[in-house]
Structure 1
Amino acid sequence: MLDQRTVPSRSTITLRGVPESVSLARFRVGELLGEDHPAFDDVVLLVSEVVTNSVVHSGSSGGGTVEMTVAVCPGAVLVEVRDAGSGVSAPHVRNDPEGEGGRGMFLVDLLADRWGARDDARGFRTLWFEVSF
């Protein structure tokens, strides 16, 4: 028999590429993790940053779609956010304390144990991060 403690909880949601979807993404990941989860604060913050990037800076903005998958595994939470891509290079970390924006990837780099981005042949981009606990 399969031990349920080793099977990841997994949830995928398709969001509209509009700023209002960020709060829905935060709610969904919070609901999946529960407020007492040890990675709750970091994962909710990073989901907010990554989904915001998708709905503001990608080809999904203006009502396209963004897909978010969250997998809760023993010892880690993996989040993947897929959007229509932006036609520019992969996300990078900017450390400009005087800048008005661009801190999202800095936070991902700071709080996630691992992260990365990949583009597929159709131009869709998936940004993923993993937070261990």
Structure 2
Amino acid sequence: MSYLIDRHPSSDSPRLGAMTLHPVAESVPRARRWFRKFIAPYNPACSVDDCVLMVSELVTNAIVHGYSDDPWIVQIEWFREGASLRVDVHNPGYPANVRLRRPGADEAHGRGLLLVDSIAESWRSGPSRFGGTVVSFVMADAWPDS
């Protein structure tokens, strides 16, 4: 797995969908449900269940770690990049605060990015074009016939 800090995300990829969520716990199951519904018409060959798990983890992290003095939202976008699927989760947090942890067996939290790191082809974090932070993952061969 690879981890990249991307300060200039590509805007050349066609966006397949997007969601805007309030930073509340109820948004996590909503993100899972709607991502599954919105990605289905594109019939990706990669595991949608794995993507839904990673979306859930990143939205949870965005809600828990996002911060702003003003009202804010979590934004999710997904893109087709050749044969790959890229999912971006944006929040108003600080990019430097995103880090892969290796929690102990007795710790209840801290495994979200570890899951993403173990499932995705790659992931990255950096400044969001909306301000704040974006954390993204890529699933290779989502459309292998491309």
Q: What's the TM-score bracket when you normalise by the shorter of the two chains? A: 0.7 to 0.9
1:50-103 per-residue CA deviation (whole Å, 9 max, x = no partner) reads: 00011112116xx62000001245532210000011475223232423211101
Unaligned 5+ residue runs, structure 1?
A: 1-6
Match of 1:51 among 35, 55, 59: 59
Compute the displacement of 1:17 (Å). Answer: 0.6
1:124 is matched with which residue? 132
- Of the structure 1 ranges 96-105 and 26-35, higher mean CA displacement relative to structure 2 is found in 26-35
Report which structure shows greater RCO (CA 8 Å, sep ≥6): 2
Distance 1:51 1:97, change over 3 A: same
Distance 1:122 1:29, change over 3 A: closer
1:85 aligns with 2:89: no
1:10 is matched with which residue? 16
1:42 aligns with 2:50: yes
Secondary structure class of the residue paired with 2:59: helix
Unaligned 5+ residue runs, structure 2?
A: 1-12, 142-146
Taking structure 2 as the reference length, the TM-score comes to 0.73
Asked whether the 8 Å contact 2:95–2:125 carries over to 1, the reply is: no
Structure 1 stretches (4+) deviating beyond 4 angstroms? 120-123
Taking structure 1 as the reference length, the TM-score comes to 0.80
**Whole-Å separation in 1 of the counterparts to 2:133 and 2:26:** 21
Aligned-pair identity in percent equals 30
Q: Report the number of matched residues.
A: 127
**Whole-Å separation in 2 of the counterparts to 1:33 and 1:122:** 23
